[in-house]
Structure 1
Amino acid sequence: MSSAAAASETTQNSDPYIQSLFAERIGGANYGKSTEIYKFEKIKRAKRKALADHPERQLLDFGIGENDSMADASIREVMGREINQVENRGYADNGVSEYKEAAARLMQRQFGVKLDPETQINHCIGSKPAYAMLPACFINPGDITMMTVPGYPVAGTHTRYYGGDVYRLPLLAKNN
């Protein structure tokens, strides 16, 4: 069978070969087949509906991540200048020492906590990747992550990836 015919058969009659290789912790052969709407898309749809239903009201969005509006012009202006600077190129995979030192000073000044910048400060590209990695470090199958609801769901999602369970802590007035 030619490769074109094999590719055609794969797309018409079955899943691509790689579909059977996905890890069980992320759904195995069923990975990506769910019709469930991504949680942040649900939030965006609810936000659009609330704005459409009540255009006279201002929406105060305290959401985390997934920017859906343009950054301020002053920020875009500075970024436009800085992106062309040679010193701003390259990778900082292990964290920049100036950043780690500044973070340690901030923790000391704001919270009275003394940290070693080289061994106790870790950088990340955002809070979502940091929260997502915590279960990779601490969760074994059967372990539990306690998560507030509403709350930031990524730690719970990744807890389930690693075989753990999520115990939801509802933030309700009756629970104080």
Structure 2
Amino acid sequence: MALRPSAAARLLHFAEVAGWKAVALRKGLDLIDLGIGSPDRPPTDSVRETLAAAALRTDAYGYPSSAGSIAFRRQAAEWMRRRFGVTVDPERELLTLMGSQDGLAHLALAVTDPGDVALVPDPGYPIYAASLALAGVTPYFLPLRADNGFLPDLDAVPGSIWRKAKFMLLNFPANPVAATADLTFFERAAALARKHGVLIVHDLAYSEMGFDGYRPPSILEVPGAADIAVEFHSLSKSFNMAGCRIGFLAGNAEAVGALKELKANIDYGVFEAVQEAGIAALKEGIAALEAGRPGVSEIYERRRNAFLRQLRAEGWDVPAPKATMFVWAPLPFRGEETGDRRTSRVIAKEMLEETGVAVIPGDAFGREGEGYVRIALVEEPERLAEAARRIGAFIRNRAR
């Protein structure tokens, strides 16, 4: 149950990739940055206009409530009802956050004690392990592997671990593996959590990025799940508001209340103007649902198709994700060359140096990520096709 690799080491991978990009730019390479999953489009005109108008008000600059305005929480609750058919109490079961990462970073401090155990995915978003390290919590890693559809084998968790665990962190659609889970999986997870008295923490940052007609579900759709689960939502990806830093936690009132109490002692919450922009975005999301419009999913589905079509033409047949803004790509070659193991980190570095295309090596997300790279679909289709052509040339050169 050791932290493997260390939480700090996982974060250093991202700093290392940033250093590679800086070197590539100094060399004059045309950089196509498919590393960090930051949306490259702005929010809608209406959302930006709402933000601008709210920011110009003279009464907008006092300390906001650390729990978030009741107006934002009510709108978030209404969006949950319309999107998932889920009812949450905006007073007791919903907390406004400075993005979902804010909550993910602090939840373990609120609901665990040092020495407790938490179940977390491997590969997984780096803040999962980092938050446990900060709280003194021991991670038990749930391997996500291709032969199980990148779902954790919950039946393989020993009883001794279930008895020690305080919470289990799930993330579907998943970053980095781009896997999806259906309600049957969540029902099974909820039953096990209830049996063992374990809180489920579900990170649903990519709820609005499903493709080919797939709509990611909420774990709170499982009857009674609010008794044993909380769920993080983010406006960053769904509404292109990453820089605004706004999201929310919904579900189990006790866990929501614990995080609310902690955050009341460490920050003053989200700028009121940003919350008003968030309200506008959620209203637009509801309108899109009612009109049958796809929202951001259409953008990323088009990008996925363009990128994978060209990549396959180049000879690299990568599985098509059903959701998220990422492609989780198994490397087309591995082994030993000149005594230097061809790790995902070595290959990602060489790819950037030779092609100007930046991706994240899979081991940045945990030991199970070795042999993969994560590719973010954060460019327009034409630029993604160009990246695929460069990657194809790189692969052919390496295969000689």
Q: Bin the TM-score by the shorter chain.
A: 0.5 to 0.7
Q: Show the 5 A alignment for 1:49-60.
A: 58-60=32-34
Deviation of 1:114 after TM superposition, in Å, equals 0.8
- For residues 117 and 35 of structure 1, the distance between their equivalents in structure 2, rounded to whole angstroms, comes to 38
Q: Do the aligned partners of 1:145 and 1:156 also contact (CA within 8 Å) in 2? A: no
- For residues 70 and 110 of structure 1, the distance between their equivalents in structure 2, rounded to whole angstroms, comes to 23
Per-residue Cα deviation, 1:122-156 (whole angstroms, up to 9, x for no partner): 01111111001111122223322222233222232
**What is the root-mean-square deviation in Å for CA atoms of aligned residues?**
4.0
CA change 1:119–1:81 in 2 (3 A) is closer
CA change 1:80–1:146 in 2 (3 A) is same
Per-residue Cα deviation, 1:88-124 (whole angstroms, up to 9, x for no partner): 3222223111101101101111111111111111011
- For residues 23 and 148 of structure 2, the distance between their equivalents in structure 1, rounded to whole angstroms, comes to 29
Q: Show the 5 A alignment for 1:17-166.
A: 38-45=12-19, 58-61=32-35, 63=37, 78=49, 82-93=54-65, 94-166=67-139
Per-residue Cα deviation, 1:48-78 (whole angstroms, up to 9, x for no partner): 678899x6785444636xx9x8968x69x74
Task: State which structure, 1 or 2, has the greater radius of gyration over its C-alpha atoms.
Answer: 1
TM-score by length of 1: 0.58
- Secondary structure of 1:123's match? strand
- Specify which structure has the bigger relative contact order, considering alpha-carbon pairs within 8 angstroms and separated by 6 or more residues: 2
Amino acid at match of 2:61: R
Q: Do the aligned partners of 1:97 and 1:118 also contact (CA within 8 Å) in 2? A: yes
TM-score by length of 2: 0.29
Identity %: 27
Q: Does 2:140 correspond to 1:167? A: yes
- For residues 124 and 172 of structure 1, the distance between their equivalents in structure 2, rounded to whole angstroms, comes to 31
More strand by share: 2
CA change 1:36–1:147 in 2 (3 A) is closer
Deviation of 1:173 after TM superposition, in Å, equals 1.7
Q: Do the aligned partners of 1:135 and 1:155 also contact (CA within 8 Å) in 2? A: no
- For residues 136 and 128 of structure 2, the distance between their equivalents in structure 1, rounded to whole angstroms, comes to 12
Q: Do the aligned partners of 1:134 and 1:155 also contact (CA within 8 Å) in 2? A: no
- For residues 114 and 161 of structure 1, the distance between their equivalents in structure 2, rounded to whole angstroms, comes to 33
- For residues 15 and 91 of structure 2, the distance between their equivalents in structure 1, rounded to whole angstroms, comes to 38
